[in-house]
Chain A
């Protein structure tokens, strides 16, 4: 089976495991459905991806994931994550997946999220986890560090980004309606972004150790 499909299965498993956690975060500042919606979407992504040919390239797998997220998640997360996966798919087509490709994919995904959500970093959204993550990844990669280390740095930066969302006022999405009351609560979208990155990093580590 395609490695990309196995990676999506790992992401789906992590989202499923954190379904109630994400929903409880959303209950504090939103409408208590982020975990439910994400789990529904990634369950559908895995089901759809398993129907792809085993040799499907990364671009095809990501495009399938993006379209499936758009048509199953709903809410704000559906268009945002769906757009992110579609944009990443666009840069992944045909290329071997090395560190440079990962950076291109993440940057394309982030630009897609910014355009669709009309948001920038610092507004208590998933961008507060994703932008620092890709920056940390790129720093390590340019320093010639191995891929797994780059991914770990990305996860660490995303985790800090999630913690940072606790300290700021939401200005986008439903949490923005709470204004200052949103302070002290971490953003559910930033948290799901961290969970996805962490699942991918863990998957890569296992995959590499299995290869060696």
Chain B
């Protein structure tokens, strides 16, 4: 393992110290906890709290700021934060209008955030939850725990955050979050694995010519492996799965997120977004906005995911609303 770290046990602590020292105008730390909140908060609006394992930067601390999150909870690397940490975040950001928890659909995240919600309710804090399940790679049958939540979660942060900023009630913010979840689909692939610092070795191996299709964001294996193909062919395959699950009609407005997993050059992400744009245009869809870059990473994993969000008038307005956070600035 070759990494720019001091001690594997200290990576989360030192990263959080780094985020706060780099972005004091945006975020502050809840002392004693792995929780970042808005520097100026709490404010008298519905608050959004999200979080998950560390290693997905800039998720989630990078999205704390105006128009997106009020609090972010960082677990150990690729491990959901514990209920007491989430509870601290909820207490720190609640401005009296209630708190929405944005949870990615992973068993551990759901359980820990549920326990935190129980703790908050016991203290009479109004809490609602939304579980994001945008990854079409895995089956959505009745016998699974459902789809994973991956990069499409960033759209939930953005649009529900905009609704909260506009003064929406907790019920309205939750409704928007659920509408985004219902309309966003994602899928990813990997060229190379990543190494969790505490484990010290890659969580899986791929041969030189192999790629993994349908990866999650924790280095957990995808649905299958195949020989490497051209960028266009890979995008074709991922988009086919995304559009099969959520067909885009001619005239439909969409937003696109081409998300790097941490180890892929921006050049390659743009080659991907080029093909995505061609395919959507071919369907007669209108792409309102495309985001390209590292939003929900997996340490240094090479690869990317594509998220497509179908818009209506309300979602489009919230998408285009301003946001000002360390990793997402829009005027």
A contact set with B: CB distance below 8 Å: 23, 27, 29-33, 36-37, 40, 70-80, 116-117, 171-174, 176-179, 181
Contact = CB atoms under 8 A, between A and B. Distances in A.
B145 A176 contact: yes
Top 9 A-B pairs ranked by shortest CB distance?
A31-B218, A76-B108, A32-B203, A75-B108, A79-B111, A74-B79, A31-B220, A76-B107, A75-B79
B287 interface: no
B108 A78 contact: yes
A176 B137 CA distance: 12
Contacts of B79: 33, 37, 73-75
B198 A173 contact: no
A182 B48 CA distance: 35
Given A27-B204, A32-B203, A174-B220, A70 B80 contact: no
B221 A32 contact: no
Contact of B203 (A27, A70, A79): A27
B contacts with A: majority SS: loop
A79 B143 contact: no
Interface in B84-114: 84-85, 106-108, 111-112
A contacts with B: majority SS: helix
Nearest to A123: B143
B199 A23 contact: yes
A36 B223 CA distance: 25
B75 interface: yes
Given A23-B199, A117-B111, A71 B78 contact: no
B219 A31 contact: yes
B220 A74 contact: no
A163 B324 CA distance: 52
A70 B115 contact: yes
Nearest to B85: A71
A178 B112 contact: no
Contact of A32 (B80, B144, B199): B199
Given A31-B78, A36-B199, 4 more contacts: A29-B221, A32-B196, A177-B216, A181-B224
Contacts of A173: 107, 145
A10 to B, nearest CB: 24
Chain B contact-residue range equals 35 or more
A79 B145 contact: no
- Among B107, B137, B203, chain A packs the most CB atoms within 10 A around the CB of B107
B148 interface: yes
Given A78-B82, A79-B111, A177-B220, A172 B139 contact: no
B65 interface: no
Nearest to A31: B218
A117 B137 CA distance: 23
Contact of B80 (A29, A40, A74): A74
Contacts of B53: 74
Given A36-B199, A117-B107, A31 B216 contact: yes
Contacts of B148: 177
A37 B196 contact: no
Contact of A176 (B111, B112, B144, B221): B144
14 contacts: A31-B78, A32-B196, A33-B76, A75-B108, A78-B112, A79-B83, A116-B111, A171-B143, A174-B107, A176-B138, A177-B216, A177-B220, A177-B223, A178-B221
A13 B216 CA distance: 32
B220 A30 contact: yes
A79 B216 contact: no
A171 B144 contact: yes
B78 A70 contact: no
Contacts of B223: 177-179, 181
Contacts of A30: 220
A71 B53 CA distance: 14
B220 A33 contact: no
A71 B221 contact: no
